[in-house]
Chain A
Amino acid sequence: MANIKVLVAKPGLDGHDRGAKVVARALRDAGFEVIYTGIRLTPEQIAEAALQDDVNVVALSLLSGAHNTLFPKVVELLNAKGMKNVLVIGGGVIPEADIPGLKAAGIKEVFTPGTPTTKVVEFIKANVK
């Protein structure tokens, strides 16, 4: 794919955006077109932004522990808007035990603390449709 468009988004009320911003910048440096939403968005606002900007990837970041509620909700809303081909990935302080459930809900990969940004770049290149 020539031009991969990524929406980096922070659902919920969590203000920890160091990871989201670092990843966003690394993805941009890797040649992707990156849109960063800023903090404190509802799943609805994120899905709407993904639709408006017609992105290929939605990268969610959350450190507050609300991921089990909010990540799947973003996927649901994307599906409801007909964006079934969007690659949804997530990152943050997410216990290992939660990852299978998130994957079953349509989050294709979950990146936990210590992940090099290059790994995220490679994953997107290999999995984007």
Chain B
Amino acid sequence: MANDTLKTEFKRYMDEADAKCAKFPERANLEPNRLYTPLDIEGFDYEKDLGFPGEFPFTRGVQPTMYRGRFWTMRMYAGFSTAEESNKRYRYLLANGGSGLSCAFDLPTQIGYDSTDPMAEGEVGKVGVAIDSLADMEILFNQIDLSKVSTSMTINAPASVLLCMYIAVAEKQGVPAAKLRGTIQNDILKEYSARGTYIFPPKPSMRLITNIFEYCSKNVPLWNTISISGYHIREAGSTAAQEIAFTIADGIAYVEAALKAGMDIDAFAGRLSFFWNAHNNVLEEVAKYRASRRIWARIMKDRFHAKKAKSMMLRFHTQTAGSMLTAQQPNNNIVRVALQVAAAVMGGTQSLHTNSKDEALALPTTESVTIALRTQQIVAYESGLADTIDPLGGSYYVEALTNKIEKEAMDYIKKIDELGGAPEAIAKGYIQKEIQDSAYKWQMDVEQGKRIIVGVNKFTQEEEPPKNLLRVDGSVGKLQAKKIADVKAKRDNAKVKATLAALEDACHKDEKTNLIPFILEAVRAYATEGEICGVMRKVFGEFKAHTAL
């Protein structure tokens, strides 16, 4: 059908349908059009807009064979209490078909405090595992062969310290750093805007990040040096387009910082990775993943003149949306997570964590984690969603939505560029304000019944409080205190002092002095994380947020 004929026919159909639809107005005001046709993707050019998987602009996926080569990595985020307890959970997950590790650290570890620090009170071992020194890290990976497994670590401000601990554990296992595979989150900008585990001000924080890029490009070449994260921005309340826009703007800032530090784009860009949320609206999420790949590829090619294809690929991990889990009727969350997995898989994720049904109430039990892992396996092996690459490519709706999200995101990126880039936009509170406005709108929509959450504002029922929640023993703090005392009694304290003094000296020098070798020496000498971060706190100072409502 020629376009003019189609336009006429489409109008006829809409008029006739509207006349009939007037009787059923309840869902008439949804944002998407009722129906999508070729008219919604006028000018669509397969080669320019999509291309083939593994080829520019990577809209359909970053690898040529995607899940026909191998499934995504089923990487369950886990960690709680002590290294001993978490090591048990890791080995359980690997024994049950988990294909990679993902470490959750407790908040004191994430903010560079030892478990014995007064600031750590009440928080030790709560949201993740407590790591104070290399001794804990050795226990965490006991009987796990680091030459075989890939490990993702959710660690940002002290990412350099935890990476060095991982390298040091591998050395003790006889595994060279060049063989290590994994990821550190290492994304400080979103800590300022959305997640909150910052330590140092932006400038030294960016130095640590570019130091890591440089060190790893030479010594840990298979390591993903950063996971530029939209997940937490979305959890904080952003929309889908804001999630990818603010994150890609952060990505641009990291690239610019590395270029400014004198690195060649193709030397580090291939090791940048991303982290997206899988929210409830399945098709919007698929479009978001596709749009994000296309945007990044074009930015890397056109703006930063990357030459290698690898530098242009947006590879990403996905986690299902924690904020969409309900405390009410928690079994319903299993269904939500399954749909979120469907979105992530149809969107071509490289690895995936699935949340457990009880996480709006507490950390998950082994039983609920197993269901969450099995959900991925069911989608992989039974659903057919992974049987062909980018199965929704060419859908009028999904292509139109991909274009729309791309445009919205690019408008934000342009605005952020005008503000002077992501660090400036964050310093001005622009990104935080945009996220807060979206979060507030979402909550008001729920409270006014404009948005339905099953079991929360519709289809509610009386229920017994759930039983068998996981509880972290309150004695973890004491156990960690004893471990720290043991480490300090056994180690060569003169050596610790010398390595910390050398680190302090290096911190005072400019950013061309790479801090990673100094941190690694201190780690090898069993300096605690608090001692190492303490030295950097002393030189760099601490970031203080100004929070506006």
Contacts and interface: CB of A to CB of B under 8 A. Distances in A.
A114 B456 contact: yes
Given A14-B107, A36-B549, A42-B119, A114 B436 contact: no
B246 to A, nearest CB: 15
Interface residues of A, number: 36
Contacts of B362: 65, 93, 95
Interface in A1-35: 12-18, 21-22, 24-26, 28, 34
Contacts of A112: 327
A85 interface: no
B123 A64 contact: yes
Interface string B99-128: 000000001101101000011111100110
Nearest to A119: B447
A114 B85 CA distance: 31
A38 B440 contact: no
A117 B111 contact: no
A42 to B, nearest CB: 7
Nearest to A67: B122
A97 interface: yes
Interface string B281-317: 0000000000000000000000000000000000000
A117 B126 contact: no
B146 to A, nearest CB: 29
Interface residues of B, number: 47
Given A65-B362, A117-B443, A13 B326 contact: no
Contacts of A42: 118-119
A117 B447 contact: yes
Contacts, number: 109
Contacts of A36: 547, 549
Residue of A25, A114, A116 contacting most chain B CB atoms (<10 Å): A114
A18 B193 CA distance: 12
Contacts of B121: 12, 66, 69-70
A100 B265 CA distance: 57
B119 A18 contact: no
Given A18-B237, A64-B127, A118-B447, A25 B549 contact: yes
Interface of A: 12-18, 21-22, 24-26, 28, 34, 36-40, 42, 64-66, 68-70, 93, 95-97, 112-114, 116-118
Interface of B: 107-108, 110-111, 113, 118-123, 126-127, 191, 195-197, 235-237, 323, 326-328, 360-363, 436, 439-440, 443, 446-447, 453, 456-457, 465-466, 469, 471-472, 474, 545-547, 549
23 contacts: A12-B122, A14-B107, A15-B191, A15-B196, A16-B196, A17-B196, A18-B235, A21-B440, A24-B549, A25-B440, A26-B443, A37-B547, A38-B546, A38-B547, A39-B196, A65-B363, A66-B121, A68-B474, A69-B121, A95-B469, A95-B471, A97-B465, A117-B447
